[in-house]
Amino acid sequence: MNIQSDEELAKAYKFLEQGNCEEAKKVLERAILYDLESEEVKFVYYCGSYWNDSIKNLPNLTPFEQGESLISVWEQFSTNLQEIPHTYPKAVYSIQKGVFTLALNAYKSLEDEKNPFQKAEICRKEGLCSKKLGDYESALSYLMQANSLTPASAPVLAEMADCFALCGEEKKAKVLFREAFFIDAQKINIEFLDSKLIRSLIDRVREKEYSLGELKEWIPVYGVLYGVFNVKRELRSLEIGKLKQEIYAKENEIKDANSDEKLLVPKIINMYFWLIDYYARTDDSNNNIQRCLLKIQALDVGVYKMYTTGKS
């Protein structure tokens, strides 16, 4: 790459960080003339072109729609990047900074929202954007506010867990990840989870080629089997009663020929893992644990063997 191309590329990166893809494209068109063979220039131009129309359309949307649009397009953009053999991290970082700065500013303009549920969603998205910008302290502040408005929200807890993991606080992360996937795995957008702790688990389970819905239900199961979700909280008596009722309901549901067994099996297994943890802390628990293990064995022999032998 020659000096002129380097200079133009540096300018393009700054424009991308500002979310100004139109100017970045103009600069890159000059850079290409200086160096027709530069793969980096071509990739950066691809990034700018991909985002240009979406960003130009933002003024036509409400602030909330702007944030939602940017996050939605980012998810598709990230998926597309996985199909490209060689990407350039600096380019991805630059466009990520530009996109999530724009999204964060859009959500910040809505901080006077009075509806607690909508306010919680805005705070969650502010947390997500801050996390993507590397500001984990602010991200946790937003997410904790969201959690205070809507407690026990799986998406909020998952994002909090991700931030804790990114900050090196793995014990807190493991507790919250396990909690989030237990509450409602389907509501968690796993593509926006970034920490090595959870990404390694997701990628390992993904190798088993489950559908996206199945994958989400199996993540907490394999999280236990692989020793990732190994920090556990003690359930309260009221929670145990509710858990037993949910297990009973799901076991009846799975008997229905129209039920989605592929989703229900891992969900029920995960519930039994929680119940076993409770029994393990109580006196005279062996019989209850054995009954749970027999239920797991009937659902999935492979999981039963891994759980009882500790071999993954």
Write out pLDDT tens, residues 88-105: 999 999 999 999 999 999
Residue 123 covered by a domain: no
Q: Note the pLDDT of residue 7.
A: 84
User: Final residue of a domain: which of 85, 110, 135?
Assistant: 110
Confidence category of residue 5, pLDDT binned at 50, 70, 90: low
Confidence category of residue 38, pLDDT binned at 50, 70, 90: confident
How far apart are the C-alpha atoms of 86 and 70, rounded to whole Å? 24
CB 261 within 8 A of CB 272: no
Token pair listed for 263: 């989703």
Residue 246 covered by a domain: yes
Residue 186 covered by a domain: no
What residues contact 254, with CB distance under 8 A and at least 6 apart?
261, 264, 265, 268
Name the DSSP class of 282: S
How far apart are the C-alpha atoms of 205 and 225, rounded to whole Å? 11
Residue 247 covered by a domain: yes
CB 260 within 8 A of CB 303: no
The single-letter code of the amino acid at 198 is I
The single-letter code of the amino acid at 232 is K
Domain region containing 61? 1-110
Confidence category of residue 285, pLDDT binned at 50, 70, 90: confident
Give which of 91, 89, 21, 18 is closest to 55, Cα–Cα: 21
What mean pLDDT do residues 112-129 have? 97
Residue 129 covered by a domain: no
How far apart are the C-alpha atoms of 106 and 89, rounded to whole Å? 25
How far apart are the C-alpha atoms of 298 and 268, rounded to whole Å? 11
How far apart are the C-alpha atoms of 68 and 141, rounded to whole Å? 20
Q: Note the pLDDT of residue 310.
A: 77
How far apart are the C-alpha atoms of 204 and 228, rounded to whole Å? 12
How far apart are the C-alpha atoms of 114 and 124, rounded to whole Å? 15
Residue 274 covered by a domain: yes
3-state secondary structure of 133: coil
CB 90 within 8 A of CB 32: no
Token pair listed for 36: 């027709």
Domain count across the chain:
2
Token pair listed for 305: 């063997």
What mean pLDDT do residues 51-60 have? 96
What mean pLDDT do residues 183-202 have? 97
Residue 282 covered by a domain: yes
User: Final residue of a domain: which of 110, 132, 162?
Assistant: 110
The single-letter code of the amino acid at 191 is E
Q: What is the pTM of this model?
A: 0.92
CB 217 within 8 A of CB 202: no
Q: Note the pLDDT of residue 3.
A: 59
pLDDT surpasses 80 at 86: yes
Confidence category of residue 253, pLDDT binned at 50, 70, 90: very high
User: Final residue of a domain: which of 110, 134, 150?
Assistant: 110
What mean pLDDT do residues 59-74 have? 98
DSSP alpha helix (H) spans, the chain: 3-17, 21-34, 39-56, 63-81, 89-108, 116-132, 136-149, 154-166, 170-184, 196-206, 212-225, 237-253, 261-280, 286-299, 301-309
Confidence category of residue 79, pLDDT binned at 50, 70, 90: very high
Please give the residue that has the higher pLDDT: either 286 or 228: 228
As a whole number, the mean pLDDT across the chain is 94
pLDDT surpasses 80 at 305: yes
Dihedral sign for Cα atoms in the order 189, 194, 196, 199: positive
Residue 231 covered by a domain: no
